[in-house]
Amino acid sequence: MAGIQYLGKRCPFSSNCPVFHGTLIVEKAPLMLIKNVFCNRGIKGWKNCVRFQLAETEDEVPSTATPYKKQ
Ligand code: SF4
């Protein structure tokens, strides 16, 4: 099913991620590019995202963390 396939490729933290929702602006790249490179790319993309790495290993993710920096 297409829906399930899509969910499998989108980052599991996306629903609570301010980068994904565009409320935390990343100056380095446009949001569409970030989503293509990290958020919607499946595990290979997520693993390259610093914010994802923090979400997996830390109890709290700094509010300003992005795919490129810890805070
Ligand atoms: S890949 Fe990174 S930026 Fe994208 S939704 Fe997941 S934690 Fe947020």
Instruction: Kindly report, residue by residue over 1-60, the tens digit of the pLDDT.
Output: 444 554 559 999 999 999 999 999 999 899 999 999 999 999 999 999 999 999 999 989
**C-alpha span between 64 and 51 (Å, rounded):** 9
Counting from 1 in the atom list of ligand 1, the atom nearest the Cα of 19 is 3
Cβ 65 under 6 angstroms from ligand 1: no
Instruction: Kindly state whether residue 62 falls inside one of the protein's structural domains.
Output: no
Q: How far is the CA of 51 from the centre of ligand 1 (A)?
A: 6
| Total of domains in the chain | 1
Instruction: Kindly state whether residue 65 falls inside one of the protein's structural domains.
Output: no
Position of tokens 């565009």? Answer: 22
Instruction: Kindly state whether residue 15 falls inside one of the protein's structural domains.
Output: yes
pLDDT value of position 53:
97
Whole-model pTM over 0.85: yes
pLDDT value of position 70:
94
Instruction: Kindly state whether residue 40 falls inside one of the protein's structural domains.
Output: yes
pLDDT value of position 66:
97
Q: CB neighbours (10 Å) of residue 25?
A: 11
* Closest among 30, 28, 31, 8 to 20, alpha carbons compared: 31
Instruction: Kindly state whether residue 66 falls inside one of the protein's structural domains.
Output: no
* Closest among 21, 43, 71 to 34, alpha carbons compared: 21
pLDDT value of position 22:
97
Instruction: Kindly state whether residue 67 falls inside one of the protein's structural domains.
Output: no
Q: Which domain holds residue 27?
A: 2-57
Cβ 49 under 6 angstroms from ligand 1: yes
* Closest among 18, 21, 9, 12 to 62, alpha carbons compared: 18
